[in-house]
Amino acid sequence: MAEKIDNLENLGQHRLNHLRELEAEAIFVIRETAAQFDNPALLFSGGKDSIVLFHLARKAFYPGRVPFPLLHIDTGHNFQETLEFRDYLVDKYGVKLLVGYVEDTIKEGKAKEDTGYYGTRNAIQSITLLDMIEKYKIDAALGGARRDEEKARAKERFFSHRDIFGQWDPKNQRPELWNLFNGRKHLGEHFRVFPLSNWTELDVWLYIYLEQIELPSLYFTHRRKVFNRDGVWLAWAPFMRLKPDEKVEERDVRCRTIGDIPTTGLTLSMASTVEEIVYEVATTNTTERGMRFDDKVSETSMEDRKREGYF
Amino acid sequence: MEQHTKLSKQEIKQKVDELLNNYLEMDLLRFTTAGSVDDGKSTMIGRLLYDTKAIFQDQLDAVERASIRRGEEQINLALITDGLKAEREQGITIDVAYRYFHTPKRKFIIADTPGHVQYTRNMVTGASTANLAIILIDARNGVVEQTLRHSYIASLLQIKHIIVTVNKMDLVNYDQQVYEKIKKDYENISQKLEVPDIRFIPISALKGDNVVEKSQNMPWYDGPTLLWLLENINITSDLNLKDPRFPVQYVVRPMNDEWHDYRGYAGRLASGVFHVGDEVMILPSGLTTKITSIHLSDRQLDYAFAPQSVTMTVADDIDISRGNMIVPVDNLPQQSNEVEMKICWFNQRPLQTKGRYILRHTTTEMLAMITDIIYKLDINTLEKNFEDKQIKMNDIARIKVRTAQPLFFDPYRVNRQTGAVILIDESTNETVAAGMIE
């Protein structure tokens, strides 16, 4: 395997395979962001897509440092493992970290928390994010979102314009041709940039395997207190309200995608290595966002949230 | 993952390594699809995704629920590609949507573009990065005005391969005569195009004929299925590997102890191949130097080729910055302050002759003025109109542009990267036109 991995030209002379082509495209977009904007930041969730994005950013500027900070929106309901991994990466690579707290947004009275069974802080994140963007004068926020994830995301540009209120106008997007990205904007507006637009979930996992990228332990099997709600396994935590018929039990689980605790559905799995995960992903018959509680609200919940400034 | 427990760790590792090896041998084909409203484009894409198993169970369940809600008897494959709220409400596609699927041979990216007249700009957008275009024709309607329009756009953007799918063959009793007539009509109009490779396939996206599975209903057709063609069309020669062009995107200066004097020029090769040791010229300064190293992150390369993103160092300490272009001394691009180009106009506000625009080309931006409109193209007849100088949204025209600094370019026909520009409105910042330099 090692031989093939090291060969950039498996397809014959001067032919890039599709994974390396996606890598080249993402690096181009990341560099273009650093060049066209004064104050970019990389939206870091602790999930695999933002970890891959950071890995690509390190490649893009090697041997220099990544010339922008990581920005994390902490809902206050995060998995401890996510936060530990975030701090580990920041420490290891000497990159600057900015954290916005949803708790602050709620305390400041800018949002009211839904504390019902299905209440999450997911939508409030958008407000915290926009506050952080304004506070640090961030003019481009790089995110790991992919077009294959969700139907509203299938319409995203690489350089996606946001108006002064942080809103996305999907019906009136700038045409994006060749690789000529137009990042011009007026004061107060900003861009979201998605270098992984053309990657699929399997691309991301195979790239992680190929490049041996480190991941938080949450992605691998572990025993955890969980409960089942409407067919989805959720992690138990003190702030999670249980319905009368729901009971906490211990199971071997792992995350297929990482959000915060209330939004992340867990997979019953014994996969303990990246190759076992790749195998799972390659043979599964559900989408990864099918495991996300935040998308189950309505058919257009992603589009609605994105219009309002979501990731 | 029941099947998962049956395999040992070793077996899984072996399987995944096989998968990875296979994956690293796949190339990428980007294609765009165009058809008029109701030609069955969404159904065709839905069929491709469905039959190649790119649709997951939960997506399929959602589509099934939606089909039932709409009172339809069977799963409506077209709903797989629905995106925005308004699109679902109106049953149309508004914006370019990107879809993904793969077979063991290739990974595919579909730029799914709307067929309405007013959305020509979206088709141009989708076509700009495509290797191939699928043009749909409704077997009942034959070649229509929009067929020519879509084909012309594919040709204008230098797409080298077109597959014409004659769809809804089931509604014309799979009649060979109907297909042959459409094929002949299309061959007549395609003489006006610059597309070297045009193929035809009779299909029924709804019934699945010749999309992924070979049709039992059209024994008279002995050609390949649509998927077979997509998997096997040779796109190797589409990329310009003859003319090395390296637009400098970003200058890497670590300025730390370990890399004290390091200056790396980062960018993506627009075309061609560069080797360590190559004698190169820096444009616009005209200074010459030699490439001393090429690397991709910490990996040293002997050479790099398009479309790789790499970083280069050069022998001499000369001023090189973003927007400069590195080229071989013996293969220079053209240089001019005044160029002619074909454009597609994208904006509500018509083109302003003598108007100032920002022109973006490779990694550089400069002021530009549209000095003259040579002709406007009637996209339905492909006739040149030298009188009408009103260029409005979705119009295609040939114009003259003067730039504030010299432009280093190759004709778009020869190089899709160094021959392409966009024009930006200074006041609104909107992208108002796509230009292809003659």
The two domains B8-238 and B246-328 share their CATH topology (first three levels equal):
no
Any A CB within 8 A of B251 CB: no
Q: Tokens 């040791």 appear where? A: B277
pLDDT, one tens digit per residue, over B403-434 is 999 999 999 999 999 999 999 999 999 999 99
Strands B288-296 and B299-301 come out as: antiparallel
Contact list, A307 vs chain B (CB under 8 Å): none
Fold of A2-204+300-307: Rossmann fold (3.40.50)
pLDDT, one tens digit per residue, over A117-166 is 777 777 888 889 999 999 999 999 999 999 988 777 888 899 999 998 88
Q: Which tokens in the block code for residue A141?
A: 């926020």
Q: Provide the shortest C-alpha distance from residue A189 to chain B (in Å).
A: 11
Least confident of A104-108, A109-113, B94-98: B94-98
How much is the average pLDDT of B91-112?
A: 83
Q: How confident is the model at residue B36 (pLDDT cuts 50, 70, 90)?
A: confident
pLDDT at B52 over 60: yes
Answer whether CATH 3.40.50.300 is correct for domain B8-238.
yes
Q: Quick one: how far is CA B415 from the chain centroid?
A: 14
Q: Provide the shortest C-alpha distance from residue B267 to chain A (in Å).
A: 7
Which of A22, A202, A279 has its CB closest to that of B15? Answer: A279
How much is the average pLDDT of B288-314?
A: 95
pLDDT at A27 over 50: yes
Contacts with B180 (C-beta within 8 Å, 6 or more apart), sequence order: none
Q: How confident is the model at residue A5 (pLDDT cuts 50, 70, 90)?
A: very low
Q: Which of residues A292 and B419 earns the better pLDDT score?
A: B419
How much is the average pLDDT of B388-411?
A: 95
- CB distance B27–A17 less than 8 Å? yes
Contact list, A24 vs chain B (CB under 8 Å): 268, 307-309
Q: How confident is the model at residue A16 (pLDDT cuts 50, 70, 90)?
A: confident
The secondary structure of B287-332 as a DSSP string is -EEEEEEEEETTEEESEEETT-EEEEEESS-----TT-EEEETTS-
- CB distance B16–A278 less than 8 Å? yes
Q: What pLDDT score was predicted for residue B93? A: 58
Q: Tokens 């580990």 appear where? A: A88
Give the C-alpha distances (Å, rounded to integers) separating A278 from A56, A203, A224, B56, B316: 20, 10, 22, 16, 46
Contact list, B273 vs chain A (CB under 8 Å): 14
How many degrees, rounded to 5, is the angle at CA B67 between CA B66 and CA B69? 65
Any A CB within 8 A of B427 CB: no
- CB distance A18–B27 less than 8 Å? yes
Q: What pLDDT score was predicted for residue A1? A: 38
Any A CB within 8 A of B23 CB: yes
Contact list, A19 vs chain B (CB under 8 Å): 23-24
pLDDT at A6 over 50: no
Q: What pLDDT score was predicted for residue A51? A: 97
Q: What pLDDT score was predicted for residue B14? A: 85
How much is the average pLDDT of B385-393?
A: 93
Residues A260 and A263: their CA atoms lie apart, in Å, by 6
Contact list, B20 vs chain A (CB under 8 Å): 1, 4-5, 206, 209-210, 278
Q: How confident is the model at residue A3 (pLDDT cuts 50, 70, 90)?
A: very low
Q: Provide the shortest C-alpha distance from residue A76 to chain B (in Å).
A: 30
Answer whether CATH 3.30.9.10 is correct for domain B335-437.
no
Q: How confident is the model at residue B227 (pLDDT cuts 50, 70, 90)?
A: very high
Structural contact between residues B189 and B155, judged by C-beta atoms closer than 8 angstroms: no
Q: Which amino acid is at B130?
A: A
CATH of domain B246-328: 2.40.30.10
Contact list, A202 vs chain B (CB under 8 Å): 23
Residues B246 and A254: their CA atoms lie apart, in Å, by 44
Interface pTM (ipTM) of the complex?
Answer: 0.92
Residues B113 and B124: their CA atoms lie apart, in Å, by 9
- CB distance A285–B56 less than 8 Å? yes
pLDDT, one tens digit per residue, over B133-150 is 999 999 999 999 889 888
